[in-house]
Amino acid sequence: MKTGKTIIILLTLSILLSGCGKKFRLERDIEYQPIVWPYSGGYDGDSNKEKSSDFSGNLNLKWSRKISGNPIGPLSIGGGKLIACTTTGRISYFELETGRYRGKFKTKANVQTGLTIVDSLAYFASGPVKNRFICLNLHNRKTLWFAGIKDVTGAPTIIDNRIYLASDFGMVECRDRISGEIIWQDSVGAKSLAGPSFDEGIVYFPFENGRLIGFEEITGKMIINVDLKQPLVSKVAIDEMIFISGVAGTFSALDKKTGKIIWERSFEWPIWTSPATDENMVFVGDNGGLLRALDKNDGQTL
């Protein structure tokens, strides 16, 4: 009898441990297509924290899961998986619809950028003390290449075989995504907390000193340099115009080629998140819990 109980206990422990320690590998029939505007890096600062909002967050919860450590960096979505990074260096994979745990990848430092995934390759940055930007093969879990870059900020953007990223000490870079070799780089002298976006040959970087700078994708030549006079901490959305929000509560629409301001709206609350667009509207959410739909042509609330 004791022997039978012992076997049952050992089998139970084996099942539990194998579920908790399961290592994620990408299935061979799944590959991720390039994403021009990957997920916002998000940023939560101290501005206007003394204010309180009436918004209670009454949303219908679909699923929730506990993870090891505190969340860090943006969530990523690809191939039906939700990918979450934590302060313990763990990258966890969940089924998007059900929240079922699918496995993990463990790094030796915080993953502060989330993951940008194309084909079978995942790109992410590890923070102090490693300070590396890493290209990981999701099929065999081996590092294809890495580069010593201090504090990469925001999720990088991939166009063709080029990857664009920014660092905490004011450097923007374009690298070959397969080899990791530098194609071009520029020292801007300000932090780009959100990371880049891309449209029609121009890579746009918002900076915390209020500047939005656009670089030509191949050569790195500076095309646009406009001062919006407020910290910019979220990715821009690009449609017929550039749409960008700032922590002072100002929301702007700019000309894509010149950076000239077409229209602006000022709101009471700081805006930490990226806008989203559809055919006629642009959507913007603020720190007070308000989500607005604005006319793309003139910025009026619909």
Q: Does residue 196 lie within any of the structural domains? A: yes
Percent of residues in the chain assigned helix, strand, coil, to nearest 5? 5, 40, 55
Arithmetic mean of pLDDT, 265-277: 86
Assign 9 a pLDDT band (cuts: 50, 70, 90). low
The confidence score (pLDDT) of residue 214 equals 92
Residue 12 lies in a domain: no
Query: Contact at 8 Å (CB) between 128 and 169?
Result: no
Residue 80: inside a domain: yes
pLDDT per position as a tens digit, 79-90: 678 888 888 888
- The HSE-up count of residue 204 (CA atoms within 13 Å, CB side) is 29
pLDDT in tens, 186-213: 988 888 878 888 888 999 999 888 899 9
The helix (H) or strand (E) run that includes residue 104 is strand 101-106
Identify whether 124 is part of a domain.
Answer: yes
Can you list the positions of beta strands (E) in 107-208?
116-118, 121-126, 132-137, 142-148, 152-159, 162-167, 171-176, 182-187, 197-199, 202-206
The answer to whether residue 134 sits within a structural domain is yes
- Distance, CA of 274 to CA of 290 (rounded, Å): 14
Q: Is a pLDDT exceeding 50 seen at residue 44?
A: no
Which of 40-44, 147-151, 200-204 ranks highest by mean pLDDT?
200-204
What is the rounded CA–CA span in Å between residue 233 and residue 207? 7
Distance, CA of 239 to CA of 235 (rounded, Å): 13
| Alpha-carbon gap, residue 223 to 244, rounded angstroms | 17
Query: What single-letter amino acid sits at 52?
Result: S
Phi, psi torsion values for 102, nearest 5 degrees: -110, -5
CA distance 242 to 165: 19
Q: Let me know if residue 187 belongs to a domain.
A: yes
pLDDT over 70 (residue 96): yes
Domain count, the chain: 1
Domain membership of residue 99 as a residue range: 26-45+65-201
Asked if 63 contacts 27 with a C-beta cutoff of 8 angstroms, the reply is no
Element (H, E) at 133: strand 132-137
Would residue 132 count as lying in a domain? yes
Task: Using the predicted structure, report yes or no on whether residue 240 has a pLDDT greater than 70.
Answer: yes
CB 269 within 8 A of CB 284: no
pTM: 0.72
Residue whose tokens read 């890096």: 41
pLDDT band for position 39 (cuts 50, 70, 90): very low
Of 111, 67, 104, the closest CA to residue 87 belongs to 111
* Type of residue found at 284: V
Q: Is 109 a domain residue?
A: yes
How much is the pLDDT for 40?
34
Q: Which helix (H) or strand (E) holds 164?
A: strand 162-167
Question: Residue 35 above 90 pLDDT?
Answer: no
Domain with residue 149: its CATH number is 2.130.10.10
